Structure 1
Amino acid sequence: MKKYILNSFFAAVLLFAASCKPEIDTPAGTSAGQANFGKYISVGNSLTAGFADGGLYLEGQKVAYPNLLAAQMASVGGGTFTSPFFSDAQANGSGYLNLSALMNGSPTLSNVTTNLAYRDATHLAKYSGEIQNLGIPGMRVDLAFAAPYSAANMYMERLITDSQVGTTTYFQFIQGRNHTFFSLWLGNNDALGWATNGGVTTDATNVLTDKATFSMLFSNLVNALTAGGQKGVVGTIPDVTAVPYFNTVTVPALLAAAKAINPAAVAVFIQTTTGVRAATSEDLIRLPFQSAGLFGTGTIPYGLDPRNPIANNWVLDKDEVIRVKDYVNSYNSTIKSLANSKGLAIADTYTYLNLVKAGVAIQGININSSFITGGAFSLDGVHLTPRGNAVIANVFIDAINGKYASTIPTIDITKYRGVKFPDK
């Protein structure tokens, strides 16, 4: 069976969840407070859509955090929430990674290729009808205003008519929804795409969005979503180095493995923009490197000799880490400032996921950012497991309740799984 890990360039994230308010009584002891959850929409990227394990598929869609959040909103007057689910017959959607074996800590990942939802080689089956979960994998703040991207992104293409493809922007797509409440978790990919490509820019999906441009465009998004006086919640952008994608394949572990075979190995060497040097623990190796089969190969051992260093695109070196953190901090400053100016709730996922990275006990369950075993992140090392989605949904719930004096009940995360382990 082929072993590999899909490289995920879709990272991160806008959130809008939608609800239609039915004629129901709000249970005693609960309240919407100062908010109206009658129709909730969620704006965002892959994290909003339920992307997981390197793909978009039905199980992940159902446990996307806006869906979990909307279900809790129902107890305080929220209505139905519609998502563009794949059919049961095409439940595996775009395909995804499956953990088929785990031997001595070494995973074997295989790609699920049955019951997919492709209508041809590059296009997913169309979805029509009301949509309130507006998350599009791969969406960025800058690309939200680019009409051609709706043709290039198969996840958005499936949600719009043929006449809209290539002419409608995501910014236009999210408008006119008659919402009463929204969540917005977007901007992660404006930094993550560059980081997951090792700090190398090759196209529009992996460039670092200019800080001033980000501020202007994010302001346009917030203004559009609050144009009718609607309340909502915005999420901060996570620290890209808090995910398993960047903290699983470590320099010390690589060197130790090399020394076990060749005690003469003295260092791991990497190519940076300023030249070749020995790597340190401050340099972050991308997760797919562990299954690439390159390390130590060749007459001049790859990565173990300065004449044959690990290529720049495999490593987010320490200077690139500093740079991407600076951009994320700038984006988050913009997000918080705009949210405060509009009186919106702020779900600080940046701070929370850094707590998860260190390890935290939630409702009696220990979760952390360890690959496979940590419980929070799926097999692509970037996106969330069902349990991770439940945890993040509670971060949004706490932010909403704190801002609007509502009493949305939090989610029991013990009902949701982490990574699915192979049957014994």
Structure 2
Amino acid sequence: MNSKFIFRSILAVAVVTAASCKPELKTITPSKGSADFSRYIAVGNSLTSGFADGGLYLEGQQNAFPLMIGTQMQTVGGGTFSMPFFNANQADGSGYKKLTGFSATGDPVIVDVPAQAAIGTANVPGFGTVPLFTKYTGDLNNYGVPGIRLNNITLTYYGNLNPYFERLLPNTSPANTTSYLSFVTAKPFTFFSMWLGNNDVLGYATGGAAVAADFPTDKALFTQIYNGAVTALKTGGAGGTGAKGVVATIPDVLSTPYFTTVTLTAILAKVHLAAPTVNTIYIKTGAGTTRPATAQDYFLLPLSAANLIGTTTNAPYPYGLDPRNPVESKYVLDQAEAAVIVDYTNAYNATIKAVAASNGLALVDANALFKSYAGGKIVNGAAVSAAYITGNLFSLDGIHLTPFGYAIVANEFIKSINTQYGASIPTVDVTKYRGVKFP
């Protein structure tokens, strides 16, 4: 048989076969499933508000993950999602950190952009002076309040102490008497997200466990308040007829750049440039003792900016290199203090998972999500990791996320909502959002 004929026959069969195996592209019709997204509210802290780069400012607010979710929900009957934006004249909000370049040794040069929304202070009896921001008075769906702990949400005086909460309330500090939980449930809603509890360990950790008042919330109290919050939110607010929702676990703060960037190895590498024989960094532990640091201790990101290692500005002995002038406790979480953070985080997350399961809520395991990026991933062609500056995930404060990071979180919430309620809310195109902004 002619070889050309055989080749053409095989080619013809291949073409027919390929055509018959061509996959059918099915269009997924957006659906709300068993949920009602007509009024979605977001309850939470700084991560919910869009806080980034050490501050709350307009660009960060515009990239808040609940706004992304609310926008996607509109394809399945969701209503308008209103944010408490700073106006254009106050775009810098509470102030934030900005990367302006790198030093000759490769260290990032970061400056503080001043606040534009600060309007003064108020004196709160028993608490002292607190700052004030320009009030927001419009419609509201995002109730994210930077700094709020779970154990703050039932306090009637808290609106006088937290300027981010105070700016949302009708009265001026110190005249506020509405608790956060009462405030978010004052109007009816049909769906909620709740991401609370992060700050119940975060403040203690970022302060180097040096402030006793920041100690993590009692575990039993956390469980009690968390259950109470979910019960209140499931009612759908005043005048509501019930609501469904999604909750999220607490990320392991020790896996963020705030605690992973300034390592013992990195410190010694810099020290060796001037003192190659020095191989010990001394720290002051939470127990008040001085000892050599180990790989199980966590140095805080501000230690790098303080540029104290080896200096003798405040003592005759080089800072951190001599046991008579150790790294202060506020700049380090020793091994024992870190264990406390891990223990309380695990306990809180066990509560969150149990409450979600018993109430039929969608669950986002943010702890597992953030840990999954420790070694790096490729997301829509972009390299993402937990590395400071270069990782795309975390902003300049080393704790909060970049717009890209918030988009990743938004998609995790959407996926969990879709799974729990049989919905098909479209996910967010993460490529539309930036990582760290370079000069």
Instruction: After superposition, give the CA deviation of every residue in 1:312-342 in whole Å (9 maximum; x if it has no partner).
Output: 1110111111111110010000001011111
Pairing 1:327-346 to 2, within 5 Å after superposition: 327-346=344-363
| 2:164 pairs with 1:155 | yes
User: Offset of 1:113 from its aligned partner?
Assistant: 2.5
| 2:248 pairs with 1:238 | no
User: Offset of 1:365 from its aligned partner?
Assistant: 1.4
Counterpart CA distance in 2 for 1:240 and 1:195 is 8
Structure 1 letter corresponding to 2:304: Q
Structure 1 letter corresponding to 2:50: G
Instruction: After superposition, give the CA deviation of every residue in 1:281-320 in whole Å (9 maximum; x if it has no partner).
Output: 1111010100112111113111111121111111011111
Structure 1 letter corresponding to 2:188: N
- Cα RMSD for the two superposed structures: 1.4
| 2:233 pairs with 1:225 | yes
Structure 2 letter corresponding to 1:127: Y
The equivalent residue for 2:400 is 383
- Segment of structure 1 superposing worse, 183-192 or 252-261: 252-261
The equivalent residue for 2:202 is 192
| 2:326 pairs with 1:312 | no
SS of equivalent residue, structure 1 residue 123: strand
Counterpart CA distance in 1 for 2:106 and 2:415 is 36
- Segment of structure 1 superposing worse, 40-49 or 137-146: 137-146
The higher radius of gyration belongs to 2
Pairing 1:114-263 to 2, within 5 Å after superposition: 116-120=116-120, 122-162=131-171, 165-203=175-213, 206-227=214-235, 228-263=241-276
The equivalent residue for 2:22 is none
The equivalent residue for 2:310 is 296
User: Offset of 1:229 from its aligned partner?
Assistant: 3.1
The equivalent residue for 1:111 is 112
Conserved 8 A contact 2:33-2:423: yes
The equivalent residue for 2:127 is none
- Segment of structure 1 superposing worse, 168-177 or 150-159: 168-177
Aligned match for 1:352, one of 369, 372, 385: 369
User: Offset of 1:120 from its aligned partner?
Assistant: 2.1
The equivalent residue for 2:7 is none
User: Offset of 1:163 from its aligned partner?
Assistant: 6.3
Structure 2 letter corresponding to 1:194: Y
| 2:296 pairs with 1:286 | no
Aligned match for 1:265, one of 278, 295, 304: 278
Counterpart CA distance in 1 for 2:66 and 2:385 is 22
User: Offset of 1:36 from its aligned partner?
Assistant: 0.7
Change (3 A) 1:175 1:311: same
Conserved 8 A contact 2:286-2:337: no
Q: Which runs of 5 or more structure 1 residues have no equivalent in the other structure? A: 1-26
Structure 2 letter corresponding to 1:189: N
Counterpart CA distance in 2 for 1:320 and 1:108 is 30
Counterpart CA distance in 2 for 1:322 and 1:118 is 38
SS of equivalent residue, structure 1 residue 184: strand
SS of equivalent residue, structure 1 residue 172: helix
Structure 2 letter corresponding to 1:169: S
Instruction: After superposition, give the CA deviation of every residue in 1:329-364 in whole Å (9 maximum; x if it has no partner).
Output: 100000010111110000111000001122122122
User: Offset of 1:177 from its aligned partner?
Assistant: 2.3
SS of equivalent residue, structure 1 residue 390: helix
Instruction: After superposition, give the CA deviation of every residue in 1:34-74 in whole Å (9 maximum; x if it has no partner).
Output: 11111100000000001111111111001100001111111
Counterpart CA distance in 2 for 1:112 and 1:30 is 41
SS of equivalent residue, structure 1 residue 41: strand
Counterpart CA distance in 2 for 1:364 and 1:54 is 28
Conserved 8 A contact 2:209-2:286: no
SS of equivalent residue, structure 2 residue 229: helix
SS of equivalent residue, structure 2 residue 168: coil
SS of equivalent residue, structure 1 residue 38: coil
Change (3 A) 1:332 1:304: same
Q: Which runs of 5 or more structure 2 residues have no equivalent in the other structure? A: 1-26, 122-130, 236-240
SS of equivalent residue, structure 2 residue 363: strand
Counterpart CA distance in 2 for 1:175 and 1:386 is 28
The equivalent residue for 1:411 is 428
Counterpart CA distance in 2 for 1:187 and 1:277 is 33
Instruction: After superposition, give the CA deviation of every residue in 1:223-247 in whole Å (9 maximum; x if it has no partner).
Output: 0000243110001000011211000
Aligned match for 1:373, one of 380, 384, 390: 390
Structure 1 letter corresponding to 2:369: Y
- Count residues with an aligned counterpart: 393
Counterpart CA distance in 1 for 2:179 and 2:186 is 13
The equivalent residue for 1:9 is none
Instruction: After superposition, give the CA deviation of every residue in 1:239-292 in whole Å (9 maximum; x if it has no partner).
Output: 011211000100111112112211231201111134211111111101010011
Counterpart CA distance in 2 for 1:365 and 1:392 is 16
SS of equivalent residue, structure 1 residue 346: strand
SS of equivalent residue, structure 2 residue 156: coil
Conserved 8 A contact 2:364-2:416: yes
Conserved 8 A contact 2:100-2:111: yes
The equivalent residue for 2:35 is 35
Counterpart CA distance in 1 for 2:277 and 2:183 is 58
Q: Which has the higher contact order (CA 8 A, sep 6+)?
A: 1
Structure 1 letter corresponding to 2:292: A
- Segment of structure 1 superposing worse, 342-351 or 310-319: 310-319
User: Offset of 1:202 from its aligned partner?
Assistant: 4.4
Counterpart CA distance in 1 for 2:276 and 2:77 is 66
